[in-house]
Amino acid sequence: MGLSALAALVLASGAGAQTPELASSSETFVSPSTATYARTEGTIDRVYVFRTNVFDPNVRGEDWWPFRIANRIHVMTREHVVRRELLVGPDDRWDPIEALESERNLRSSGFIRKAEIRPMPKPGGKLDLGVETQDSWTLQPQVSVGTEGGDRYFLWGVEENNLLGLGKAVSLFHGQFGSQKRNEARYRDPRLAGSRHRLTGLYAQTDKGDEIGALIDRPFFSLRTPWAMSLLWTRIIQQDTLYADALETSKFLQHYASVQASVGARLDTDDDPVQRVGFGTHYERSRFERTVDTQPGTLPGDRTLSGPTLGYSLIQPRFVKETYIDKMQRVEDFNLGNELSIWGGPMLDSWGSDRDRWILRVQDQQGYHVGEGRFFLGQAGVAGRVAGGRLENSLAYGSLNAFWKMFWPFPQTWVVHAEANAGHRLDGEHQLVLGGNTGLRGYKNNSFTGLKSALVNVENRVFSTREYFHLVHVGAVAFFETGAIAGDGWGFRDSRFKSDVGFGLRFAPSRSATGSVLRVDAAYALNDGPGASRWVVSIRGGQAFQIFNSTNRNVLRSPSANLGEESAGSRLRRQ
């Protein structure tokens, strides 16, 4: 939670104000409908853009002097920035798919809190579009102090996600997580020189070395986008740590460099499903250096991968709009259709690899809708390398999530998350990890490590759908979770499952750019584990487990992915 939101909350509560008007009702818990989009037909005549500042003076309670000052400080998103994200316009035939995609693009911008496109039919087969947006508070001085799984973190800095109302983002941060320190500057331009190209640049200094990188890409910004491209360069020096029983057992430095280039094209087929192919080149080099904390036999071997790549993806668009799933009173977009992706290629000695290898990653995702606010979402995949007929750094993974909204006796969402992973000959810097930072909140961070993992989280998220002081939403959770780690060559029956129960509070600044929650959890371990106490308290942003890839994220995630990570806290806490 940024200082700006906290300061406004303090002002609202301490200035002798009357009981605040509660700005929303239980109706906001209802899943947003898209029926109007499907029923509408016609040719678009005019497009009207209605922009609202962070606080709406037409809403009772928001026309108050602290909120008026905040609106004056904030530079509203400029109208042309909103219009450039629209995929439909005057003289186009109404297309519900592209209208919904336009909404999703606006919501994913990071600086628009609400976005809705409303078709307004007119006589003669014409219609007008009303595009309604409301800005988030994007100037965020931040001071964050928290704990998770027994480890403390400290982060301070400033971030602006909508510089001068143009949608550009710049940030400066200092952070400490355990013994690791980081200073960084980051810039992101989603529309470089007014084009569809994006630019992201990052420079960071740590106590182990520096990190620098740049990414220029043109994404598939809609399902009908004909082509895309990407060019990435990064150089990173980072400390890798191996764990056992929540203790650091070995540390070493990784000198990582990568250059990646790719182009993609949409195949000229039907809109359902959408199929794409991609071609590229991939280069990455990792050199490992001993430190005084490197234990004998733990230093990974150096490796270089270089070669051509080929990719294919299939997307079946079945998007739904939901609220009160991972966030509070923010529209979240989920695709319940099939999403298949295949990527890989030969890493060749003749291209600069240290030896001939093949790399491959296959992933499939599927959802299933069972009623309003109730759906399942599953994912399965394999990733790894083959060298000399043997698997390297291979991982098979799968996860299943169930979301079940209920209105009685109060608004609540039941979430069940289950995942399993099986690794084989993982690279020396990689481990599957279970602990407070990977979905097992009753235990210290990095408590259990191995080559196979299983995790089940059951969480009941209870929401107050009212907005307090026009600044914050409040919720609570109760949870149970269990998981196990197994070593190579033995199964889960040889490894005791570790379980915990607990409860927590959730706070979501309603005007923030991300809409993410701040969680305060108290968990009690039902089994013995590392540490003297069975109680663990965690305070940090974001949900306790990810929808996908909670325990395997440091295996699947390349160091170069840090360049595109939007959360400063996640960049700080990365492996």
DSSP of 507-518? EEETTBSS-PPE
Contact status, residue 11 vs residue 66, Cβ threshold 8 Å? yes
- Give the number of residues written for the chain: 575
Per residue in 429-451, pLDDT (tens digit) is 999 999 998 899 999 988 999 99
**What's the pLDDT score for residue 175?**
83
The pLDDT of residue 126 is above 70 = yes
What is the third-level CATH fold of 31-135?
Answer: Ubiquitin-like (UB roll) (3.10.20)
Beta bridge partners of 390: 387
**What's the pLDDT score for residue 21?**
36
**What's the pLDDT score for residue 6?**
33
Binning pLDDT at 50, 70 and 90, where does residue 335 land? very high
Per residue in 543-552, pLDDT (tens digit) is 888 888 888 8
**What's the pLDDT score for residue 13?**
34
Short-list 335, 356, 339, CA closest to 276: 339
Contact status, residue 153 vs residue 177, Cβ threshold 8 Å? yes
Binning pLDDT at 50, 70 and 90, where does residue 26 land? low
**What's the pLDDT score for residue 1?**
38
**R_g of the chain, CA atoms, integer Å:** 24
Which are the contacts of 90, defined by CB distance < 8 A and separation ≥ 6?
Answer: 44, 45, 46, 47
Q: State the DSSP string of 271-326.
A: SSSEEEEEEEEEEEEEEEEE-TTPPTT-PPPPEEEEEEEEEEEEE---EEEESSSS
Lowest-pLDDT range, 357-371, 391-405, 490-504? Answer: 490-504
Both tokens assigned to 213 = 């990188």
Q: Where would I find the beta strands (DSSP E) of 74-225?
A: 112-122, 126-135, 139-148, 151-163, 168-177, 180-189, 198-206, 209-218
The pLDDT of residue 299 is above 70 = yes
Which residue, chain included where needed, has tokens 């969402």?
413
**What's the pLDDT score for residue 187?**
96
Rounded mean pLDDT of the chain? 88
Q: How far apart are alpha carbons 544 and 567 in whole angstroms?
A: 15
- The domain segmentation of the chain, as residue ranges, is 31-135, 139-572
Q: How far apart are alpha carbons 153 and 182 in whole angstroms?
A: 11
Query: Which position has the higher pLDDT, 152 or 252?
Result: 252
Secondary structure of residue 102 in the 3-state scheme? helix
Both tokens assigned to 36 = 């109007």
Both tokens assigned to 364 = 């499939």
The pLDDT of residue 12 is above 70 = no
Which residue, chain included where needed, has tokens 């082509």?
227
Task: Give the burial string for 254-287 (b: 16+ CB within 10 Å, else e).
Answer: bebbbbbbbebbbeeeeeebbebebebebbbbbe
Both tokens assigned to 305 = 């991968």
Per residue in 43-75, pLDDT (tens digit) is 999 999 999 999 999 988 898 999 999 999 999
* CATH number given to 139-572: 2.40.160.50
Beta bridge partners of 248: 243
Q: How far apart are alpha carbons 118 and 167 in whole angstroms?
A: 23
Binning pLDDT at 50, 70 and 90, where does residue 282 land? very high
Binning pLDDT at 50, 70 and 90, where does residue 30 land? confident
Strand 112-122 relative to strand 126-135, pairing: antiparallel
Which are the contacts of 350, defined by CB distance < 8 A and separation ≥ 6?
Answer: none
Contact status, residue 464 vs residue 430, Cβ threshold 8 Å? no
Which are the contacts of 490, defined by CB distance < 8 A and separation ≥ 6?
Answer: none
The pLDDT of residue 148 is above 50 = yes
Rounded percentage of the chain residues whose pLDDT exceeds 70: 91
Secondary structure of residue 28 in the 3-state scheme? helix
Both tokens assigned to 75 = 């530079």
Per residue in 491-520, pLDDT (tens digit) is 666 568 999 999 999 999 888 877 788 899
Query: Which position has the higher pLDDT, 495 or 417?
Result: 417
Handedness of CA 439, 445, 447, 449 (dihedral sign): positive
Binning pLDDT at 50, 70 and 90, where does residue 304 land? very high
Binning pLDDT at 50, 70 and 90, where does residue 150 land? low
Contact status, residue 325 vs residue 355, Cβ threshold 8 Å? no
Binning pLDDT at 50, 70 and 90, where does residue 130 land? very high
Q: How far apart are alpha carbons 556 and 551 in whole angstroms?
A: 10
Task: Determine the angle formed by the axes of helices 65-73 and 3-14, rounding to 10 degrees.
Answer: 160
The values of phi and psi at residue 29, to 5°, are -80, -15
**What's the pLDDT score for residue 562?**
78
Question: For residue 97, is it left (φ>0), alpha (ψ between -120 and 50) or beta?
Answer: alpha
Mean pLDDT within 251-273: 92
**What's the pLDDT score for residue 3?**
34
Measured at the CA of 91, the angle between CA 86 and CA 93, to 5 degrees, comes to 75
**What's the pLDDT score for residue 110?**
86
